[in-house]
Amino acid sequence: KAGVTQTPRYLIKTRGQQVTLSCSPISGHRSVSWYQQTPGQGLQFLFEYFSETQRNKGNFPGRFSGRQFSNSRSEMNVSTLELGDSALYLCASSLDTGVNQPQHFGDGTRLSIL
């Protein structure tokens, strides 16, 4: 069974640009979550989608947005990139959003802002 697939693996952008990251969940998984990982702030929750609906959002500015498609694939977008947006962005999927359901992570997209 294929795992969570994130594309691209690496991305280099400059300040002011925008970027779109993609995530394909494990087949059958309907919940997709996004996290930002940085050395200073650790792992921080961005947002969670289930059946194309955003059900929770972390404490990030409106420049960070996401969506989920009917096939459960998800994208996140960051506009007007800042140097501080440099991070590893991780996507995770789970069967459902029940408390007991573990999340399965992809290998992430490494975003570097110059």
Partner 1 sequence: GNSVTQMEGPVTLSEEAFLTINCTYTATGYPSLFWYVQYPGEGLQLLLKATKADDKGSNKGFEATYRKETTSFHLEKGSVQVSDSAVYFCALSDNDYKLSFGAGTTVTVRA
CA distances from 51 to 25, 69, 71 (A): 12, 8, 9
Contact string 72-101 vs partner 1 (x = CB under 8 A): ------------------x-x----x-xx-
Residues 6+ apart with CB under 8 A from 88: 36, 37, 38, 108, 109, 110, 111
Tell me which residues in 40-79 interact with partner 1 (CB under 8 A).
Answer: 42-43, 45, 48, 50, 55-56, 58
* Tokens coding 20: 């779109």
Closer to partner 1 by CB, 15 or 57: give it: 57
What residue type is 75 in one-letter code? E
Could you tell me how many residues make up the chain? 114
Q: Which stretch binds partner 1 (CB under 8 A): 13-21, 63-71, 75-83, 106-114?
A: 106-114
29, 35, 74, 76: which one binds partner 1 (CB under 8 A): 35
Beta pairing class for 109-113 and 5-7:
unpaired
Residues that bind partner 1 (CB under 8 A): 4, 6, 31, 33, 35, 42-43, 45, 48, 50, 55-56, 58, 90, 92, 97, 99-100, 102-108
